[in-house]
Amino acid sequence: MSEMIKQQRAESFVFVGEEALKLRYKPLRQGVVVRSHVVKEITNDEHVIFKEHVDYVVDYERGVISRTSNSRIPDWSLHPMFGLKRFDHTLYADYSNQAYTVYAQYDYIADRYEREADPQIASSILPRTWSKLQAGAQVTYTVLGDSISTGGEASAEQWTYFNRLSRYLCEQYGPSAGSGITLLNKAIGGETSKGGLARIERDVIPTRPDLVTIGYGMNDQSISAAGQVSAVPLPQFVENMETMIKLLREQTSCDIILVTPCSPNPDWQRTSGRTVDYAAALCELGIRYNVGVADAYAVWEAELAAGKTPGSLLLNNINHPNDYGHELYLQAFLKLLHGK
């Protein structure tokens, strides 16, 4: 089996006391670097690079990392919400774990070479986008969805999943000097598929898009403030999404990618436990209408299964991915485009 050394960048952690957390991959012994922010900004005076053996220790054999007893890394066990089950975030002035999130960088040995991008796969999923980029033309990419699709909790625009995707598409499929992507974000925080359907003909179709990504499901599956099991029942969600696909097909020639939602914090009061059903419904719609599906839910669940904690992936501690979480969304797109 072929091996290659890869670098894991900005893997996020929220530490609890001196409890060991699993690193996503087994790091090489050259060292794991932990910092307070993804990158050091010129204006960021609070950026800290923590010291191994002083602030944290790494068990390279087990692939785990933990705080030391006198670490400068913030300890989530000191937060008022630590250990709460079925919590109501509206009761707390600060329910975010942003101040407790740190980021690690390290090298690891991948099991095998990743499958190279296959132009035939990408061109079949994104025929219009691919052909325009290849021709050196401008592509209009319109984003529709909820707060995650507004870029919710990414530390900067460049780290949002849709900006990451735009860069990837240009670099991978736009060899011509004139090719590029105009990104128009029409997502609205707190919205469900019902709201998206109500305004798609007003806000999205007039942009004359070449590519539209539609990211709903997080708010649809959530238990409503009134206690409704799901804010938008699954059958209605499917109908809303189906109608949006049909409207885009009837009134544009754009490529369409549906985006499944990540998993919310299971201890959040409004988590219905049915995110899997809404994600599965989107995958089924993708098959039925022959549109691509970036299955962020599946990628997210794989991270949790590998030992990542919900808090380490959700910057607001509820349902918004941090920078590493937005990278996981990008990985869902890459799996789609690489035919994985």
Q: Among all chains, which residue has been given the structure tokens 């190279």?
A: 116
Give dist(CA 216, CA 278) in Å, integer.
9
Token duo for residue 330: 């990008």
> Residue 116's pLDDT is what?
64
From first to last of its 340 residues, what are the pLDDT tens digits of the chain?
A: 467 899 999 999 999 999 999 999 999 988 999 999 987 654 556 789 999 999 999 999 999 999 999 999 999 999 999 999 999 999 999 999 999 999 999 999 987 656 666 788 999 999 999 999 999 999 999 999 999 999 999 999 999 999 999 999 999 988 665 679 999 999 999 999 999 999 999 999 999 999 999 999 999 999 987 777 899 999 999 999 999 999 999 999 999 999 999 999 999 999 999 999 999 999 999 999 999 999 999 999 999 999 999 999 999 999 999 999 999 999 999 999 999 7
**Which pTM does this prediction carry?**
0.95
> Residue 176's pLDDT is what?
63
Q: Among all chains, which residue has been given the structure tokens 């949002």?
A: 160
> Residue 42's pLDDT is what?
47
Give dist(CA 223, CA 205) in Å, integer.
30
Asked whether 139 and 133 are in contact (CB, 8 A), the reply is yes
Query: DSSP per residue over 313-334, as a string?
Result: HBTTSSS-B-HHHHHHHHHHHH
Give dist(CA 280, CA 200) in Å, integer.
23
Q: Among all chains, which residue has been given the structure tokens 């049909």?
A: 246
Q: Which amino acid type is present at position 140? A: T
Give dist(CA 76, CA 228) in Å, integer.
31
Exposure string for 324-338, b = 16+ CB within 10 A, e = fewer = bbbbbbbbbbbbbbe
Domains and CATH numbers, the chain: 4-110 (no CATH), 119-338 (3.40.50.1110)
User: Helices in the chain by DSSP H: which ranges?
Assistant: 119-125, 127-134, 147-150, 161-173, 193-199, 218-221, 234-251, 275-289, 296-305, 310-313, 323-338
Asked whether 143 and 149 are in contact (CB, 8 A), the reply is yes
